[in-house]
Structure 1
């Protein structure tokens, strides 16, 4: 399947958002090609357009990174997305002045929507969608800075502020410029399916446990809690993820008695040190299954387990999938038939810092 994203560019746009979209699509194309080596070409294509629908030239350095266009004739309307970035604004009156100069953009948005194409917007770009009539009777989100005004100005729109992205049929909105990556993941889900969306989520979006787990390689990243006992215990567990669990050893590292450690850890983290260690180990296993080709026994050992059935049972309870099922569904790597297995995992194992344990 080919999907083209048309990036609507105008004099008032937040141009950085457009670059964020391009970077996200380029990264996803790499993930797609790793997962689907037999399929030629990129999944997503993009172009910069003006309000009349004319393609605009890209800078040379950016044009070289764009995959060849599949051509208009090969795309159905449902395979085309119009992305509307936010516009510069100082206040609501200032925004209204900008909107008064956007009649061509409003016509473009309405035209795309009427043709059955997907329409997406970020930040206050949702206001343009609302002005064009695209959001009538639909759920949408917008930046919190103008939420009250938006609700009053567009009573036919069901304003939803509970999450970064709102999807209603073929219309996608994100409330903040920084949520554009989340918005792209929802577009990936729409066009490429749940499994590729999860792969994109794992690779592109912030995941607290993964960043905390990474602190075993970069101790400076680890976020201190107010309770230094818990911080020392977590730091020790992160640095000894492969070591057989011993409450006494963790307590000694935290300079506390086992009973005191258990009480403090439960208060701060809502779990025991062993539960926390299991979470770290499962998160590491997920990363290894996603990005390496090493066998399940090695995955288990890298995660500090010696009993295969116990590891499988814990992984299944945590993720709802067995390790083998998880790898089949979310791997970012292609079949070992196309790689030398000993080389395929080494670079990524080194990247995860596991070679230093």
Structure 2
């Protein structure tokens, strides 16, 4: 029986902890069903706390932990914790720091080490991701890159494995992370079976189609914020850098410099992101022809916009509409 240790803290997100425990228990149920109840469980997933005492989560839930030697587990998971701004993300690893020395040794011994969402910040703080390929929540990309610049971040990917280290993106990517661990601990065939039972796409590999391109880096440059608002209102208008700079009484050089400092981008690239994001919303919520949508976001040539759209989303506009279209209001409980 393979052992999976979850290195939790009182700040861990409860749904992630229960999700991990439940996923690997589902694996055991499927395995025993296939073996007609005669086989022992495949996997034992258990919670660990830094001090060995029960966990007390933010919701007031108390969870027992097990006194296993987690360093000897076959796989070790650092679950996400509550953190929503730079200060919290920078401090997120403090409550897990007691794990780090033995986590380093476990990694050196070839144990699988996994994390997703804000758990990747904890893994990066341990030093294990230094000069390694990894992914994380795309929403916090700027903070991650500033805190851990020596990590080779691959935010286009939903899940990244570098040696025995596995990282995944935000929230629901934890299911794909569990599938990857199941594949390596049990086998590909079984991982595909449990994916079908749980109605999970095992081939979901990219975060790009899910990114909201209109969400930019937080900054305090009031003038750049004014320009951003102006670009949103003038989405379909022709773009001219010199005219934009003149409208806000700036030189082109100053405009480019301030945009670069505030958003790590150029005004044109920022406008392109806004246009693609608006096109995505129209594709999701209307039946307008592609040609009409292209005009509304400032392009006349469908072919050139199609290339831009693919570069930002990895889908053609038609493919994106097919995947994300909303056919009327969401109805979770149809009669």
Q: What TM-score do the two structures reach when normalised by structure 1?
A: 0.50
Q: Does 1:118 align with 2:112?
A: yes
What are the equivalent positions in structure 2 for 1:134-153 lying under 5 Å apart?
Answer: 134-153=128-147
Distance 1:117 1:157 in 2: 20
Q: Which moved more, 1:14-23 or 1:97-106?
A: 97-106
Structure 2 counterparts to residues 287-302 of structure 1, below 5 A: none
Alignment pair present for 1:4 and 2:17: no
CA displacement at 1:72 relative to structure 2: 6.8
For this pair of structures, how many residues does the alignment match? 208
State the alpha-carbon separation in 2 of the partners of residues 11 and 187 from structure 1: 24
CA distance in 2, matches of 1:100, 1:72: 22
By how many angstroms is 1:56 displaced? 4.6
The answer as to 2:127 corresponding to 1:128 is: no
What whole-Å deviation, never above 9, does each CA across 1:85-143 have from its counterpart, x for those lacking one? Answer: 11111301222233344421433533432343211111111111111111123211111
- CA–CA distance in structure 2, aligned partners of residues 174 and 183 of structure 1: 6
Quick check: which one's helix share is greater?
1
How many angstroms does 1:206 deviate by? 3.5
- Unaligned 5+ segments in structure 1 are 209-222, 228-266, 270-357
CA contact (8 A) 1:106 1:128 kept: no
Structure 2, unpaired ranges of 5+: 203-283, 289-316, 320-335
Aligned counterpart, 1:329: none
Give the superposition deviation at 1:183.
Answer: 0.7
Write the mapping of 1:1-357 to structure 2, written as runs, cut at 5 A: 2-37=1-36, 40-52=39-51, 54=52, 56=54, 77=72, 80-206=74-200, 226=287
- Could you state the TM-score of these two structures normalised by the residue count of structure 2? 0.53
Which range moves more in the overlay, 18-27 or 8-17?
A: 8-17
Q: Is 1:48–1:56's contact at 8 Å kept on the other side of the alignment?
A: no
User: Deviations for 1:25-82, whole angstroms, at most 9, x for unmatched residues?
Assistant: 1111111222334763111102211125x47589x9998xx9xx9x979x994x5221
- Asked whether the equivalents of residues 179 and 191 of structure 2 are also in contact (C-alpha less than 8 Å), the reply is yes
Superposition CA RMSD, Å: 3.8
Distance 1:104 1:50 in 2: 10
The verdict on how the C-alpha distance between 1:149 and 1:90 changes in structure 2, with shifts beyond 3 A counting, is closer
* Bigger Cα Rg: 1
Matched residues in 2 for 1:50 and 1:6: separation? Answer: 10
Q: How has the CA–CA distance of structure 1 residues 145 and 164 changed in structure 2, closer, same or farther, with 3 Å as cutoff? A: same
Runs of 4+ deviating beyond 6 Å: 60-63
Q: SS of 2:92's equivalent?
A: helix
Q: Distance in 2 between matches of 1:56 and 1:114?
A: 28
> Does the CA contact (< 8 Å) of 2:134 and 2:160 recur in 1?
yes
